[in-house]
Amino acid sequence: MRNGGGNRSRLLLISLIVTSLFLITLDLRGVQVIDGLRSGTQTAVSPFQSLGAKVFRPVGNFFSDVTRLGRTRGEIEQLKAENEKLRQDLINRKNADAELSELKSVLDLAGTARYKVVSAKVISLGSTSSFTQTISIDAGTDDGVKENMTVITGLGLVGVVKKSYANSALVQLASDSAFRVGTRVAGSQQIGILSGQGTSKGVLQLLDNQTTLKVGDVILARGSQDDRPFVPGVPIGEVTSVDNAAGAVTQTADVKLFVNFSTLSVVAVVVGSPKSDPRDALVPKGPIPIPVPTVTVYATPSGSPKP
């Protein structure tokens, strides 16, 4: 029995070897038997491959779309960030251009009058217990800014320094209801006193009634002794209406102040007065330009005493 089983195993092995050699020979001679077998196998399997592709294609598309959506969202966020940066750059550029224009204007006015000035940025708007309308600036005693110095812009009088610290100062605005400044009328040289009213207008009271005021007259600072707190010749405003009551000893008038206090960004403190009175040299020529407000939000610098 053992010999019979061994004979069958050897016979089967020999048959497989012969069949393999036969198929190899046919394949080397170019007979398409093997290809046919391959083709037949592929034909049999193709329907299953097609079905599998249809079943799994949506799954593959889903994961592909999820990946693509993630990239798209990332690109959108990047574009938003770039757009915000460009918008902020544009705002900063507009602020810088506006400040440069204001600085040029104030230097032109100071140069004409030969004032020695220190430029400063407005760092806050506010009020104190003593004054209703003030600003804080980023220049102080370290820059030569002292109390009772005149503050100007390219349009004219802003106010006077009331408190000065190392790196900042408090300025009382000409619009403050407690503000007073000695004045003269360009041309006629009539003298008077202008009082702030808490608005963009002041009230002028002339000290004599010999010459009649008229609408359009320009009011200038008369100047103080030793030029403190006011240097001479600074433009203040323009007469808009006159009250010439019969029998009145003095004349009064409403004066539109040249400076727009709500748009202040750059100012200058007069730290050195001219050797001679500029007289009417600073009277505005033509219409008063409207200042362009900036959009910068300023904060009080740390380390400076609060006014």
Cα angle: 184, vertex 252, 179; to 5 degrees = 65
CB contact set of 157 (below 8 Å; sequence gap of 6+): 150, 151, 174, 181, 221, 230, 234, 235, 236, 257, 258, 259
DSSP 300: P
Distances (CA, A) of 205 to 156, 193, 213, 257: 20, 5, 11, 15
Bigger pLDDT: 209 or 168? 168
Q: Which of 234, 239, 217 is nearest to 159 (CA)?
A: 234
- The stretch 122-135 carries a mean pLDDT of 84
> What is the H or E stretch that residue 240 is in?
strand 235-243
Lowest mean pLDDT among 101-110, 122-131, 159-168: 122-131
pTM, to two decimals = 0.66
Lowest mean pLDDT among 43-47, 172-176, 267-271: 43-47
**pLDDT value, residue 285:** 82
pLDDT tens-digit map of 183-196: 999 999 999 999 99
Cα–Cα dist 19/292, whole Å? 100
Residue 20 binned pLDDT confidence (cut-offs 50, 70, 90): low
Structure tokens at 61: 């598309």
- The stretch 77-89 carries a mean pLDDT of 80
pLDDT tens-digit map of 257-307: 999 998 899 999 999 988 899 999 999 986 655 544 443 333 333 344 444
Mean pLDDT of the chain: 79
28 phi and psi, to 5 degrees?
A: -70, -30
Lowest mean pLDDT among 9-23, 112-126, 127-141: 9-23
